Amino acid sequence: MFYIISTNTLDATKRLIDACEKRNINYQLLNPLTFDLNKNNFSDKDSFYRVSRIQRARLLDDYLVDKGCVTVKKQESKKNFSRLNTIEQNELCEKQGIKCIPTIYFPVLNQNILLKQVENLNGFPVIVKEMGSSNGGGVMKIDSISSLLSILNIVLHSARGDVVLKKYIEHDEQARIVVLNGVVVGEKANLRNSDDVIIGGAGTRFISEKKEYPKEIREMAIKAVEALGLNFGGVDILIGKDGKNYLAEVNMPCAFTYVEDVAGIDIAGKIVEFLK
């Protein structure tokens, strides 16, 4: 059985269902909000893909992995992506020689210490990011210490402390590269259309275009996914104006539907075929 962990039948879920039906693959939706453990007997003959990002979905993901179900996590890996925090993800990638965006993981509400932290990121502007947000949400460009203190005072509480400071990388382009089983299966470019730093989501100031990236950027994406013990992931890479490429993050699950639409590739079908 192929299980889809999702709270709805929209977007990625619908495309995975369509992919299963086209291939005559038996599937079942598992809603993490209503799931009953007593109604299913899972084994290593089963596989699944998690669409939902909520905590209960992550717990269900962990449960199915413990039951031996096949997923996009590498079977031989001792790492569990759903349990990796931002620090661990960056450390694993940097050990593989991947250049990540310089980050302060524990910003504090002390002006003197905070100023030193900002200096370590080459000064203002800096990026404040609430971890766990998606589609560009929770990402703010800050230009002064007074604004930074004010914003941190709010988000440190609303995000339960899971907030980081990142160096502001001047860029007009972000690559989104989808990797499956060590191969790039889809890619697109997000190109700046205004001064907004947020990529994706409502009110975006970036436009998406189909693009094939050079070998070094593709290999960077592949190495990042493998470093985190995954067979599948959506990788965001900033194409810096300084001539360097910076890993922004690896997303799993990722919004692969956007790449499908721009690149015209059936990524949902590739996921289903890989897992079955």
- Return the pLDDT at 266: 98
Q: Give the predicted TM-score (pTM) of the model.
A: 0.92
Distance CA 226, CA 92 (A): 10
Averaged confidence pLDDT in the chain = 91
pLDDT of 157: 80
Q: How far is CA 18 from CA 2, 15, 22, in A?
A: 13, 5, 6
Phi-psi region of 256 (alpha: psi -120 to 50; beta: other; left: phi over 0): alpha
Please confirm whether the linkage preceding 253 is cis (ω < 30° from 0).
yes
Residues 237-268 have pLDDT tens digits of 999 999 999 999 999 999 999 999 999 999 99
The string of pLDDT tens digits covering residues 90-144 is 999 999 999 999 999 999 999 999 999 999 999 999 999 987 665 555 789 999 9
Kindly report the CATH number that applies to the domain delimited by 103-167.
3.30.1490.20
Mean pLDDT of 13-38: 95
Pick the CATH number of 83-100+170-265 from 3.30.470.20, 1.10.3720.10, 3.30.1360.200, 3.40.50.300: 3.30.470.20
In 3D, which of 57, 87, 81 has the Cα closest to residue 162?
87
